[in-house]
A = this chain, B = another copy of it.
Amino acid sequence: MGEQSALDLDEAPFWRALMRITTALPRALEDQFLPETGLAITDYGVLVALSEAPDHLLRISALAATTGLSLSRISRVVDDLTRRGLVEKRKCPEDGRASNAVLTGAGLARLEAAYPSHLARVRASVFDHLSAEDIRTAGPVLARLAAALDAAPPTDDC
């Protein structure tokens, strides 16, 4: 891993800001969202992923990939959502090992009910503080970073 030059004058504040955001943003979102809707942000993400899938149906493993959660985590979350009637779990007909999660009517209703609250939280915590110009200039950079992080998991440098 050897020699690396320290962060320079542009990089250091960039890094600090990024750290602050990664710790503070989830909190800012969740704190009001859960009491308002009865959904954790994780739950909401799962419901959104299902609502965007064809037939509102997704393999458990696909759900894990699109939400960015681990397989074990998704398993428990889906269990919980099933117990609450927002999601249904069906053995996959073509592959006996696999299961599909399906959004129920109640789940869709719950998602739609939560949407305004989610939107309000997102605006209050992020977009209310940024101009249209900010978003246009920073958006592509963030997108590039997000893509790199998605691709990067392989442990090593390149």
Residues of chain A at the chain B interface (Cβ within 8 Å): 1-4, 6-7, 10-11, 13-18, 20-26, 28, 31-32, 36, 68, 116-117, 119-120, 122-130, 132, 134-139, 141-146, 148-150, 152-153, 155, 157
Contacts and interface: CB of A to CB of B under 8 A. Distances in A.
A130 B148 CA distance: 10
A23 B142 contact: no
A138 to B, nearest CB: 4
A155 B1 CA distance: 43
Given A119-B6, A142-B17, A127 B11 contact: yes
A28 B143 CA distance: 16
A10 B149 contact: no
Nearest to A136: B10
Contact of A130 (B21, B36, B145, B152): B145
Contact of A157 (B124, B126, B144): B124
Contacts of A134: 141, 144
